[in-house]
Amino acid sequence: MMTAYTDSSIQIIKQTPSFPSNLEPFTQAAAREALRFHRSIPEYRETDLVSLPNTAMIHHVGGIFVKDESTRFGLKAFKGLGGSYSMFRILCEKLSLDHRTADYNTFLNEDIRSQCQKIEFVTATDGNHGKGVSWAAKLFGCRAHVLMPKGTVEARRSAIEEAGAAEAEISDLNYDQTVQLAAALAEKNGWILIQDTAWDGYETIPTWIIQGYLTMLEETFEQMSGLIPTHVFLQAGVGAMAGGLTAYLMNRFQENRPAVAIVEPKAADCVFQSVSAGDGNAHSLIGDPVTIMAGLNCGTPCKVVWPFLRGCPTFFCACDDTVTESGMRAYAHPAGNDPVVVSGESGAVTYGLLLEILSSDELRNLFEICSDSVILLVNTEGATDPIGYKRVIQG
């Protein structure tokens, strides 16, 4: 049974979750394996879990925590986790290495490094994934080609090239079409497609990418020292990160599962629209969506995580751009002594939505938020578009 809420800036669906009997491969064991690899990278640093106690007190909740990925590997986004771990798994398979015992140090071997120099990757991205792939290619001594959809700002393209070993170009296609072009170029040129969405016949590499993202939550729950969130808000573009993290949460906290809310831009709400259809299938959006949330501007849900993305969350939310702008400003100008969080357009939409919920008795009741609620957010990116960030914050 679904409950709907709609106003001028937010649409919400509430459902009774249904959990698949098998939540693999996004388990705590997979998260620990990814974290083991990431810790072997010299640039690895655990990102902060930020507490916002003054905001929590003002809004009468038990706690608000933000896993802040704006500093991850110096890339201003979490995507380096998936790019590096999947590239590690691909190279281990290609070079006949055991991924269970190998780590980054294995790839410092001169012979292995020389073999990596002959390998080229290709991907499509709206920004942060491509930056993660570029950085990972430099890490392993490979090369990469990155294609970006039309409407991408130049700052995001140049940041990809500056991050590592990739050539990046902006196409005249939408996101889904750019993914198709990347796949075609991989087949034509003998490159390896390293894409963070999936379809029939292309599922293994996206699975490795998503397992890499699990490092965020493995770190988070070490930092929370036994505290379990009651509510978790996760952004979705294709939903790879959101679906993988949701499966991990449902697996880890089987006796005390948090309510998960999936949050998207209204203009590119492929998960919301797929759930709304009510037939259990993933559906693609038509046309060229326009939203400032570039990292979430995607038209087709990721096949690998769709079973978890469809059934496990309690809420599906589609938000106007004004909601993420409010979140960006609230992070930048916090209440009382709460720390400043630098959050870009795709990173702040969950916080903007949360503040809307906390300010409305109707929405608090819908989300069953009370004085004991412990709320977890993920700031997925920092100011990846510095000009756009400045415009929003000053506005």
Task: Name the residue ranges covered by the structural domains of the chain.
Answer: 3-77+211-394, 80-203
Q: What is the mean pLDDT of the chain?
A: 96
CA-based nearest residue to 79, from 262, 170, 206: 206
Which position among 14, 67, 79, 131 bears the catalytic label? 79
Extended beta strands in 69-174, E state: 120-124, 143-148, 166-170
Secondary structure of 269-314 in HEC code, one letter for each residue:
CHHHHHHHHCCCCCCCCCCCCCCCCHHHCCCCCCHHHHHHHHHCCC
Please give the CATH number for the structural domain made up of 3-77+211-394: 3.40.50.1100
Given the candidates 3.90.79.10, 3.20.20.30, 3.40.50.1100, 3.30.450.20, the CATH classification of the domain at 80-203 is: 3.40.50.1100
Token pair 């590690």 in the structure block, residue: 88
**Residue 169 burial (CB count, 10 A):** 12
- Whether 126 is a known active-site residue: answer yes
pLDDT digits over 74-105, tens only?
A: 999 999 999 999 999 999 999 999 999 999 99
- Whether 176 is a known active-site residue: answer no
pLDDT digits over 157-184, tens only?
A: 999 999 998 999 999 999 899 999 999 9
Average pLDDT, integer, range 200-219: 97
In the DSSP assignment, the letter for residue 196 is S
Extended beta strands in the chain, E state: 3-6, 10-14, 49-51, 63-68, 120-124, 143-148, 166-170, 192-193, 231-235, 259-265, 315-319, 374-379
Is residue 1's pLDDT more than 70?
no
Which position among 14, 67, 68, 126 bears the catalytic label? 126
pLDDT band at 47 (very low <50, low <70, confident <90, very high): very high
Residue 147 is encoded by which pair of tokens?
A: 């294609």
Q: Do 3-77+211-394 and 80-203 share a fold?
A: yes
Cα Rg for the chain, rounded, in angstroms?
A: 20
pLDDT digits over 265-277, tens only?
A: 999 999 999 999 9
What is the enclosing helix (H) or strand (E) of 97? none
Integer CA distances (angstroms), 330 to 66, 327, 349, in order = 13, 5, 11
> Quick check: pTM over 0.85?
yes
Q: CB within 8 A of 346, min separation 6: which ones?
A: 128, 235, 237, 293, 294, 295, 296, 324, 380, 381
Instruction: Report whether 278 contacts 53 (CB < 8 A).
Output: no
Average pLDDT, integer, range 326-341: 97
Is residue 241's pLDDT more than 90?
yes
Phi/psi at 197 (5° precision): -140, 170
